[in-house]
Amino acid sequence: MPIIPILMYHNIGVPAQGARLRNLYVRKGAFARQMFMLRLLGYQGLSMSAAMPYLRGEKMGRVAVITFDDGYVDTLENALPILQKNGFSATCYFISQRIGQYNDWDAASLNVRKSLMNQDQIRSWHKAGMEVGAHSRTHPRLTNCTDTELQNEIAGSKSDLEKLTGSAVTQFCYPYGDLDERVTSAVKDAGFEAATTTQRGRARVGDNPFLFRRILVSGSNLLHLFILKLMSGYEDKRG
């Protein structure tokens, strides 16, 4: 089956002093080199929606999907110009009731408060040809939610972001990668086309579209390891 790598990023920039999980930060220069290498290797960098025909096997080509979780301001400020320079699109998953606020779901454990894009910044991301995806309303562990809470978090985030952008929001990402059959069913019932997980590995044509695996791009990944994750079974073995 054709393989389509879905890259997972969180922060593009330099971690603040004292921040934990520093590997979730990919420095701007490293990100630029990674995107250049994608293009050099003949990959087209795409958003989730743009890649769906490839993921369904309807189109063929060398593509890689680029995704960002949470909607931090540094995604707009640092990643967007690099994506545009390379002619790529990407998906950023936003927490719809934390717009313009900060990462209150993990600020204490990570020892850092990071600014999230506000409404105007999300619109700027969208107007630049990038995709707005949903990442729930408040970033809870969805398996702990009641059925009513699930509806609110999943369908509610879709509605919030569609009102903000004026466009359909068809892509979802599970907060913390926390899911079960009830959660995936709720995502499907809400009208999403696909969803990504935090399970490591490369996506393949024929995969369940609500359980897409991704390649974790870490701040410690040198360029040769990035290429290895992209083009070999390295990441698949860690799934």
pLDDT digits (tens, 9 = 90+) for 82-133: 999 999 999 999 999 999 999 999 999 999 999 999 999 999 999 999 999 9
Q: What does the pLDDT average to over 24-42?
A: 97
Q: Which CATH architecture has domain 3-133+197-238?
A: Alpha-Beta Barrel (3.20)
pLDDT of residue 95: 98
Q: What does the pLDDT average to over 69-81?
A: 98
What percent of the chain shows pLDDT beyond 70?
100
pLDDT tens for residues 3-20? 999 999 999 999 989 999
pLDDT tier for residue 72 given thresholds of 50, 70 and 90: very high
Sign of the torsion angle spanned by Cα atoms 214, 220, 45, 192:
positive
pLDDT of residue 143: 98
pLDDT tens for residues 120-133? 999 999 999 999 99
pLDDT of residue 238: 79
pLDDT of residue 237: 86
Q: Tell which residue, 195, 202, 193, has the closest CA to residue 178.
A: 195
223 pLDDT exceeds 80? yes
Structure tokens at 87: 């002619």
Structural contact between residues 213 and 200, judged by C-beta atoms closer than 8 angstroms:
yes
The contacts of residue 135 (CB under 8 Å, 6+ apart) are: 69, 70, 71, 93, 94, 95, 96, 157, 172, 173, 175
pLDDT of residue 24: 93
1 pLDDT exceeds 90? no
pLDDT tier for residue 38 given thresholds of 50, 70 and 90: very high
pLDDT tier for residue 201 given thresholds of 50, 70 and 90: very high
pLDDT of residue 66: 98
Average model confidence (pLDDT) for the chain?
97
Sign of the torsion angle spanned by Cα atoms 98, 47, 195, 14:
negative
239 pLDDT exceeds 80? no
Q: Which helix (H) or strand (E) holds 197?
A: strand 194-200
> What residues does each domain of the chain span?
3-133+197-238
pLDDT tens for residues 159-177? 999 999 999 999 999 999 9
